Structure formats: C-alpha cells, structure tokens
Structure 1
Amino acid sequence: MKKCHVVYLVCTAAMVGTGLGAAPASADHTTHVVHPGESIQKAVDAAEPGDTVLVTPGTYHESVRVSTPGLTLRGVGRSTVVKPSTEKAAGSTCAEDGNGICVIGTKDKNVKDVTIANLTVTGFKRTGLFSVATDGLTVRNVTAEKNGVWGIAQEQSVHGTFRDNVARDNGDAGIFLANTVKAEEGAADTEGTVVVHNRVEGNRIGVTVRRLRNLAVADNYISGNCAGVFVVGDENKPKAGDLVVRDNHVVRNNKSCPKTDRLDALQGSGIVLTGTEKVLVADNMVEGNSGTSPMSGGIVLFKSFVGVTGEKNEINGNRLRDNSPADLVSTETGAAAKSNTFESNTCGASKPAGLC
C-alpha cells in the first residue's frame, strides 16, 4: 500500500516525548506512529477507516483488537514484536481469549479490507493472529510463532489473503482456516481466499482447511510439522472441497504428535484429504514424510472419522519420493475410491498398488 512511506520512519526517530505520534499519510488518511512504551490499541482506537498504524521496532506487551474497516496495522519487520501482557487487560476479549491480534467483524457485518503486516506475534495462550467475520483481510510478512494453539487463524470470512508469512512452532496449526469452530455447519464458500508463499514449520499441522470451499493453498514451504496439509470435511452439507492444493513443497513432516480427542496420533503425513469432494491436489513436491500413524504417507485420502467418504478428488502431476508407508495412499473403497483420480504423478509406491 502507498499510504505510508519511508520518510515516516525518519520522522519518528526525531520525535520526542512519550505521546502518540501521527503524520499525514495523504490528504484523506493519517499514519499513527507507535513507539515502544506506547499503546498499539490506543492508536488503533484513534484511527479512522483507511488510516495506517505504524508500529516501530520494539516489544509490545498487549493484545490488539481491530474492527475499523480499511485499517492497516504494520510493523517494520520481525523486530516489531507483540507479546502477551503481564497484566490482565480489563474488558479486552481478545486478551481474555488468549489471542494476540484480533480482527473482528460483527454477526451482521464483516469488517472489510484490513491489512496486518510486517510484525511478529508470539507467546499467546491461544492464537497469534485471529480473525472472524472479515472480508478482504490481508495478512502478509507476519511471523506467528510459539503460540499455544494456532499461529494464524480465520473463520467465517471471505476473500482472505495470507501471503509471505512464517508460522512456526505453534501448538496446533500454523495456519488454520475454518467455517466455524463453535457450531456444526456445512462447508462455507470463502469466495477465493488464498494461502500462498508461506513458510510453515514445526507445528502440529502446517495448514488446516476445515469445512471450506473455493480457496487455494499454493506455493508454500511446509516442513517439520507432524502433518503438512489437512483438508477436513465431515457429515455436514455442503461437503468440504472444490478447492486447490498445488505447487507446494511438503517435506519431512515427521514430528511426532500424540493422539487427541479429535484426531489420532500424527507423524509423517504430507497432504491429507478426509471427507472431501472435488479437491485438486496438483504439481506438489512431496518428499520424506514417514510415519506409522493411520494417516502417514505422501498424499493420503482417508475416510473421515465420522465415516464420510472422499469423492471426485483429483491427484494430478505431483512429484513424490521417500514417503512411508507409501507415496500415495487411499483408504477409500467402493464407488468413492473409483471416483477419485490419480494421474501423471511421479512416485515409487502406493497403497493400494497401482495408483502411481
């Protein structure tokens, strides 16, 4: 975005005093500058639609809630760090829920065109960056690491862009996208959400797509997780699917994670589809994913834990090697198995035989 220029960084270095600095970004919008020791939330609350909150290098112990449309919240790179407060934040639902940065719309109206960029969010009990009821949210160049559940998470939202982020060493998924986590509903249409050019390492699951349709997970580097990519459906209608997982490098996701109430133990899973339809998995490099869990293997089609079959999925043009128990694995049977297609994949072994 062109609302904020390098000149503002020069200006902030010359500012004195402990008050919140502000500089005009254009005739219509303002850049609010935050220094160490000042409140990011105070700047966000003062901002109008279209403004930028620029957070200078330093560590900020707070949670931040954003609900202003068109707002840009940006740091200057990994040296802008948001960590949990050592004090209980009265009235802050974002902090009370254990989240770092929250972008929140309402039940009746999505918050539109918010951008979160160029900062680190770490150490939160639940999620580094959580969003719900958004339209056109952009998250870019954010490092989300060592958060208790998710690094970057979104639900009930459309038109999202998650680009050039690092999600590392989070308790569950590095990047988690879902229809909703609080109700049983059919898969939601994200209207073209994209997860691209991210680096996702050391989490329980690298990228989870749960009960969604119409999105792309592409050109990501996904390594060192217990499982690389999970596309999850269940018995609700419409089914999860009609989406693309392509051009990712999914390598050595061999971390071991114990069984949970919802999921078997995980290790050595590259890309897993469970209970989905019409998912295209294409042109991925999947290598060195090895384990003995029920979903171990390079690309795995697995009947969901509530017995829902995967149908009409296309596994095409992938390059697989050194995955165990096999490069391609399908536990589907009968008509469901016949409806899934495996074409032009480069691989050494499959279960059942004949998929390569």
Structure 2
Amino acid sequence: MCTAVVVGTGLGAAPPAPRHAFHVVWPGQSIQKAVDAARPGDTVLVAPGIFHESVKVTTPGLTLRGMGRSTVIEPSAKKAANSCAEGGNGICVVGAKDRNLADVTIASLTVVGFARTGVFAMATDRLAVVNVTAARNGVWGIAQERSVRGLIRDNTALANGDAGIFLANTIQDEAGATDTGGTLIDHNRMEGNRVGLTVRRLRNLAVARNRLADNCAALFVVGDENKPKAGALTVSDNYVVRNNRSCPKTARLDALQGVGIVLTGAEDTLVTRNVVRNNVGKSSLSGGIVLFKSFVNVTSDRNRISYNVLGGNYPADLINTDHGTGNTFERNICRASQPAGLC
C-alpha cells in the first residue's frame, strides 16, 4: 500500500488552505492504486525502481512524479488492467468528450518499451510533461491529441518507432487544424526516432530550443485539405543536425533520410534562428529546410523562413518545391538552394 502524507493546513482565522497529499509508491506497489486514491492537487511520488504496469490518469490537478530516469515504467506481462494498457500505452492522461482534463503533470520518470506510446494524452488542458525519458516505444514516445495549452519540456525521446514527440488535432478523424492556445514544445532531445517531432493539423504553438539529431527526419509541420490549414506557429532556435538514418516508405510517407525541417500544407508559419546542418539524403523530402507540396496537393502559403544558419545539407540547404503564394526566404546563412537564389 502506498504511503500518503497530507500537507497544508489553515492558520488563524484565514480560510484553510487546500489539503494536498503525497502518495509515495515503492517498488512492488501499484502506481495505479495510488493514482486512483489521489484527489485533485495531490502528488503521486514514485520511488526509483522498475514498475511493470500502465497508468491511467483521469484526476484533474494530479502530479505523477518519479525520481528521475531510475524510476522506470515498463509493460506488464499480465493481462491488461485498464484501457491504457489495452491500447499499448505506458501512461495515459485522458479527459472527457465534453471537458478537458486540466492541470495534470507527468514528470521525472522513464517510460520504455510499450507497443504504442510512452505517454499519451487526449482532451487535456495545461498538461505538463517534463523531464520524461520515452524510449523504444512502438509508435510514439510522447503524444498529445485534442489538447490545449500544453507544456512539453526537457524530455528525451529515443528510438521510438514513429515520432519521438507527436501532436495532432485528432488522430483517427479528418478535421481542420485546431488552436492549441499556445502549447510550447521546449528544450527536448529527440534522437534515433523515425521522426523527431511531428506537428499535425494544429495552430498557435511554439517549437523552440530543441535538439533533433540522428533521426530519419527531424521535424514535420503537416497540414492537409481540411480547413483551417495547419500553421500560425513558430519554429525557432532549434538544433537540427545529422538526421541521416534511413527509414523505409510507409502508407503515409515516402522513404526518409536526411530530412531537416519540413513544412507541407502549412500557412503563416515562422521558421527562424534554427541551426540546420549536415542532413543528407536522397528521399523526396531530404534537405535542410524544405517547403514541400503536400501529398494531397495542398500548397503552403505565407510562410517565413528567416535568420537560419544552414550548411552541409543535401540536396540543398533550402528547398522550395511548393507552388504556394507569399512564402519568403530572407537573411538565412546557407550555400545552396533549390531553386537557386533562396540563400
């Protein structure tokens, strides 16, 4: 049984402060039982060790915190105990159809080896995923769907089957891009994945100060024929180097290798102050920063690519194969572009 410690009491005539408990989970105990016992505002603190289970969070204001990389959550060999496990996920943070789950924090732990996703969130508001290591999961390391005002910071996503970090409006349904209300993807390290980071059919967010290296592709901003388009976001101050692993073609994408930053079917996106070097490949998407006409023939419009430092990318540092309008390339430091004259 986990240990619960209650903190926070009222003093004098002032209204009593909220009473928030710490539920400490030790190896051999159940994280899920502690989460189920917690109330809004409580913290479930998980000690170092290996925990074989999936954890589903549906309580607002809950913090699920480990003690760093040595707190490890892995799949259980037992029959799935909840829908999170049934879906092949490690940690699930799930709101309702008519109400987002607010103010949940997942922090300072490792989620490894799940068939689908390390940390999966749907219908959340102000979810924070901080200092999490998501490694060798079958599809995504950290994924967020139909969520707003999120913070994904200081995480490490390694060797996941698809994207290290994946954000989308909806995964199963066709729909126009949705406004995230200012989601921030900041200071994460994404290495050895098929794609470091995918932002699909979303608007109003920032991707800043991340390191993306040794993936097949570093970063995708993806839209399609639905309205409104993806875009109205910023990609800035990222370090994008040597994303030269080779990944085969899938039903959704051509083969990938040497892919830096790609905008496809996006509008009003600012790509600025990024360092993009030595991304080398022969796929249709290879290159440093690429504007690519989407596979459903939707153009990218009014995007600004400025003040980036590029070099050693092949077939070029800057590539524009799109026929959209209002796209600008200015004050970038680079050597080669397709067509010529973008540097």
Please indicate, yes or no, whether the TM-score normalized by the shorter chain is above 0.5: yes
Task: Tell me what 2:329 maps to.
Answer: 342
Shift of 1:89: 2.1
Task: Tell me what 1:353 maps to.
Answer: 340
Look up the equivalent residue of 2:23 and give its one-letter code: H
Q: Does 1:162 align with 2:152?
A: yes
| 1:112 pairs with one of 102, 109, 113 | 102
SS of residue paired to 1:33: strand
Look up the equivalent residue of 2:337 and give its one-letter code: S
Between 131-140 and 25-34, report the one with greater CA deviation.
25-34
- Give 5+ residue unaligned stretches, structure 2: 10-18
Task: Tell me what 1:257 maps to.
Answer: 247
For the residues of structure 2 that align with 1:191 and 1:208, how far apart are their CA atoms? 18
Task: Tell me what 1:23 maps to.
Answer: 5
- Greater than 3 Å deviation, 4+ residue runs: none
For the residues of structure 1 that align with 2:187 and 2:80, how far apart are their CA atoms? 35
Look up the equivalent residue of 1:324 and give its one-letter code: Y
Q: Does 1:282 align with 2:266?
A: no
For the residues of structure 2 that align with 1:182 and 1:148, how far apart are their CA atoms? 18
Task: Tell me what 2:14 maps to.
Answer: none
Task: Tell me what 1:39 maps to.
Answer: 30
Shift of 1:113: 0.2
For the residues of structure 1 that align with 2:262 and 2:179, how far apart are their CA atoms? 20
Shift of 1:184: 0.4
SS of residue paired to 1:43: helix
Shift of 1:24: 1.9
1:80-113 per-residue CA deviation (whole Å, 9 max, x = no partner) reads: 00000110124x1100000000000000110000
For the residues of structure 1 that align with 2:217 and 2:223, how far apart are their CA atoms? 16
The 5-angstrom pairing of residues 206-225 of structure 1 reads 206-225=196-215
For the residues of structure 1 that align with 2:158 and 2:178, how far apart are their CA atoms? 27
| 1:57 pairs with one of 43, 48, 62 | 48
For the residues of structure 2 that align with 1:232 and 1:88, how far apart are their CA atoms? 37
1:159-209 per-residue CA deviation (whole Å, 9 max, x = no partner) reads: 000000000000000000000011000001000000000000000000000
Shift of 1:23: 1.2
SS of residue paired to 1:95: helix
Task: Tell me what 1:133 maps to.
Answer: 123
Give the total of aligned pairs: 334
For the residues of structure 2 that align with 1:139 and 1:161, how far apart are their CA atoms? 6
SS of residue paired to 1:339: coil
For the residues of structure 2 that align with 1:295 and 1:312, how far apart are their CA atoms? 20
For the residues of structure 1 that align with 2:280 and 2:227, how far apart are their CA atoms? 33
Look up the equivalent residue of 1:160 and give its one-letter code: G
Task: Tell me what 1:246 maps to.
Answer: 236
Between 22-31 and 276-285, report the one with greater CA deviation.
22-31
Task: Tell me what 2:173 maps to.
Answer: 183
Look up the equivalent residue of 1:317 and give its one-letter code: Y
1:234-276 per-residue CA deviation (whole Å, 9 max, x = no partner) reads: 0000000000000000000000000000100000010000000
Task: Tell me what 1:199 maps to.
Answer: 189
For the residues of structure 1 that align with 2:34 and 2:340, how far apart are their CA atoms? 60
**RMSD of the TM alignment (CA)?**
0.6
Look up the equivalent residue of 2:68 and give its one-letter code: G
Q: TM-score, normalised by structure 2?
A: 0.97
SS of residue paired to 1:23: strand
Task: Tell me what 2:161 maps to.
Answer: 171
SS of residue paired to 2:215: coil
SS of residue paired to 1:41: helix
For the residues of structure 2 that align with 1:332 and 1:76, how far apart are their CA atoms? 47
Task: Tell me what 2:304 maps to.
Answer: 314
Overall identity of the aligned pairs, in %:
67
Shift of 1:26: 2.5
SS of residue paired to 1:82: strand
Look up the equivalent residue of 1:343 and give its one-letter code: E
Shift of 1:25: 3.3
For the residues of structure 1 that align with 2:100 and 2:270, how far apart are their CA atoms? 29
For the residues of structure 1 that align with 2:126 and 2:171, how far apart are their CA atoms? 20
Q: TM-score, normalised by structure 1?
A: 0.93
For the residues of structure 1 that align with 2:211 and 2:251, how far apart are their CA atoms? 28
- Give 5+ residue unaligned stretches, structure 1: 1-18
SS of residue paired to 1:45: helix
SS of residue paired to 2:64: strand
Task: Tell me what 1:232 maps to.
Answer: 222
1:48-73 per-residue CA deviation (whole Å, 9 max, x = no partner) reads: 00000000000000000001000000
1:299-326 per-residue CA deviation (whole Å, 9 max, x = no partner) reads: 0000000000000000000000000000
